Structure 1
Amino acid sequence: MKFKGVIFDLDGTLVNSLEDISDAMNAVLQGLHYPTHSYTAYQYFIGSGLRNLVSKALPDTHNNANQIDICYDLMIEVYSNSCTNKTKSYDGIFELLDHLSSNNIKLSVFSNKSDELTKQVTATIFTNYFESIIGLTTELLKKPNPIKAIEISEIMGLKPEEIIFVGDSDIDMQTARNANMFAVGVIWGYRSKEDLLSSGAQYILNHPSDLIALL
Structure 2
Amino acid sequence: MAELLRNEVLRDDADIRETTDLRALFNHLKENGIKVGLATADTYQSAMHMVNKLNHQDMYDFLGSYDGVMKPKPHKDMCVRFCEMYGFKPYEVAIVGDSYNDMIFARNSGAIGVGVLSGVSSKINLKDTADIIIPSVESLFDKEVLSALYEEASERKFKTA
- 1:155 matched to 2:85? The reply is yes
Count the aligned residue pairs: 143
RMSD: 2.0
Which secondary structure state, in structure 1, belongs to the residue aligned with residue 82 of structure 2?
helix
Alpha-carbon deviations, 1:179-212, whole Å to 9, x = none? Answer: 00000011111111110113x1011111323223
- 1:193 matched to 2:123? The reply is yes
Equivalent residue for 2:99?
A: 169
The 2-side partners of 1:167 and 1:83 are apart by: 26
The 1-side partners of 2:13 and 2:79 are apart by: 25
Equivalent residue for 1:53?
A: none
- 1:206 matched to 2:149? The reply is no
Structure 2: which 5+ residue stretches go unaligned? 147-161
What residue identity is the alignment partner of 2:44? D
Equivalent residue for 1:100?
A: 29
Q: How high is the sequence identity, in percent, across the aligned residues?
A: 23
Moved over 3 A (4+): none
Equivalent residue for 1:89?
A: 18
Which has more strand, going by share of residues?
1
Shift of 1:74: 1.6
TM-score (ref. length: structure 2): 0.80
* 1:1-215 matches, cutoff 5 A: 72-82=1-11, 85-125=14-54, 126-138=56-68, 141-198=71-128, 200-211=129-140, 212=142, 213-215=144-146
The 1-side partners of 2:131 and 2:38 are apart by: 19
Q: For the structure 1 residues 128 and 94, does the alpha-carbon distance in structure 2 shift closer, same or farther, using more than 3 Å as the test?
A: same
The 1-side partners of 2:108 and 2:24 are apart by: 29
The 2-side partners of 1:148 and 1:165 are apart by: 11
Shift of 1:145: 0.6
The 2-side partners of 1:160 and 1:84 are apart by: 38
Shift of 1:106: 0.8
CA contact (8 A) 2:113 2:130 kept: yes
The 2-side partners of 1:81 and 1:173 are apart by: 27
The 2-side partners of 1:81 and 1:108 are apart by: 21
TM-score (ref. length: structure 1): 0.61
Q: For the structure 1 residues 141 and 88, does the alpha-carbon distance in structure 2 shift closer, same or farther, using more than 3 Å as the test?
A: same
Structure 1: which 5+ residue stretches go unaligned? 1-71
Which secondary structure state, in structure 2, belongs to the residue aligned with residue 150 of structure 1?
helix
The 1-side partners of 2:6 and 2:59 are apart by: 28
Which secondary structure state, in structure 2, belongs to the residue aligned with residue 209 of structure 1?
helix
CA contact (8 A) 2:70 2:78 kept: no
